[in-house]
Structure 1
């Protein structure tokens, strides 16, 4: 079976776990951006402006955090699920991604069903691109990535797949190492991150389930 076929077979296998595990492949309509547009041009700043308007916040770093949290949730969830079921994880580097921010929120899809590389290599260009347009801490962004990975593991574990060894592997090295810790809890994946995604800064916002801050 070719690499393309193995990646496509894996994506079909995992897409029913949750909407966050469904990742489409192929060229979309014209209003989508090439992943490379994250690093240059107006696409990313414009998306942050629209996120700020949608959530009524003038804090650029909050909008940046929300963007990256959505980006990682939609791309890392299928990567983690693919690893969990023993399939071939897709390539989610910017060069293989289409994206757009629409009234429905952030949407992503793959250009081609290629086999991927590690999470750090896949996301580092996006972390740097977001950090370049607003002074949000890199550690906070990697914390968002860790939170997205942990959330995927939690959902997968509820389908009966043992994710303990995979969790240890994914968080064994930087940049995910040190973003948080797993707390023993019978029958559940519980993660407590060391940074805050800033969601509490929104009007009506509170702290997330894995937030290190006192619940508010």
Structure 2
């Protein structure tokens, strides 16, 4: 079987896990941006502005974090699932992607169904592009990536797949190493990150399930 066919077979196998695992292939209409638009032109700044307006925040770093959180959810979920089912992980480098930000959120699709490289090599240029537009910490952005990898592992494990070994492999080296830790819990993948995605900075945002910030104490009745 060719690499092309193997990647397509893997994408078909994992797409039913949840919408985040469905990664379409092929050239879309003109409303989509080439992946290279992440590095030049108005597409990425415009997306951050639209996210800021949507969530009513004046903090550009919060919008940047939310963009990268959505981006990594959509590109890393298929990669993690492919690894879990012993398939061929797709190439998610920007040069092999189309993307757009719509009222429904961020959408991503592949140009070609070819095999990819490591997570760090795939995402580092995007981290630098986002960091270059606003002073959001690189460690925070990589924490977003780690959180989404852990979330993908949690979804896959609920289907009966033992993800313990894969989790150790994915977080063994930088850039995911040190972004958080797995907490033993029977029958569940529980992850606690070491950075915060800043969602709590939004009106009514609160904290996420893997947030390192202390939860507010409920008022006594």
Fold conserved between structures, TM > 0.5: yes
RMSD, matched Cα: 1.2
Secondary structure of 1:86's match? coil
Q: Offset of 1:192 from its aligned partner?
A: 0.1
Q: Offset of 1:187 from its aligned partner?
A: 0.2
1:65-90 C-alpha deviation (Å, 9 max, x unpaired):
00000000000000000000000000
1:22-62 C-alpha deviation (Å, 9 max, x unpaired):
00000001010000110111100000000000000010000
Secondary structure of 2:112's match? coil
Tell me how far apart the structure 1 counterparts of residues 156 and 113 of structure 2 sit (CA, whole Å): 22
Q: Offset of 1:182 from its aligned partner?
A: 0.1
Tell me how far apart the structure 2 counterparts of residues 34 and 132 of structure 1 sit (CA, whole Å): 19
Tell me how far apart the structure 2 counterparts of residues 29 and 204 of structure 1 sit (CA, whole Å): 36
Tell me how far apart the structure 1 counterparts of residues 16 and 48 of structure 2 sit (CA, whole Å): 30
TM-score when normalising by structure 1: 0.98
Q: Offset of 1:158 from its aligned partner?
A: 0.1
Tell me how far apart the structure 2 counterparts of residues 63 and 146 of structure 1 sit (CA, whole Å): 18
Unaligned regions of 5+ residues in structure 2, if any? 214-220
Tell me how far apart the structure 2 counterparts of residues 48 and 133 of structure 1 sit (CA, whole Å): 9
Tell me how far apart the structure 2 counterparts of residues 28 and 204 of structure 1 sit (CA, whole Å): 36
Secondary structure of 1:107's match? strand
Q: Offset of 1:136 from its aligned partner?
A: 0.3
Q: Offset of 1:112 from its aligned partner?
A: 0.3
Q: Offset of 1:209 from its aligned partner?
A: 0.1
Q: Offset of 1:138 from its aligned partner?
A: 0.2
Q: Offset of 1:170 from its aligned partner?
A: 0.2
Following TM superposition, where does structure 1 have runs of at least 4 consecutive aligned residues deviating by more than 3 angstroms?
Answer: none
Secondary structure of 1:204's match? coil
How do residues 1-216 of structure 1 correspond to structure 2 at under 5 angstroms?
A: 1-213=1-213
Secondary structure of 1:95's match? helix
Tell me how far apart the structure 2 counterparts of residues 135 and 43 of structure 1 sit (CA, whole Å): 18
Unaligned regions of 5+ residues in structure 1, if any? none
Q: Offset of 1:156 from its aligned partner?
A: 0.2
Q: Offset of 1:18 from its aligned partner?
A: 0.7
Tell me how far apart the structure 2 counterparts of residues 42 and 134 of structure 1 sit (CA, whole Å): 14
Tell me how far apart the structure 1 counterparts of residues 24 and 17 of structure 2 sit (CA, whole Å): 15
1:150-203 C-alpha deviation (Å, 9 max, x unpaired):
000000000000000000000000110000000000000000000000000001
Secondary structure of 1:186's match? coil
* Structure with greater Cα Rg: 2
Secondary structure of 1:41's match? coil
TM-score when normalising by structure 2: 0.96
Q: Offset of 1:19 from its aligned partner?
A: 0.7
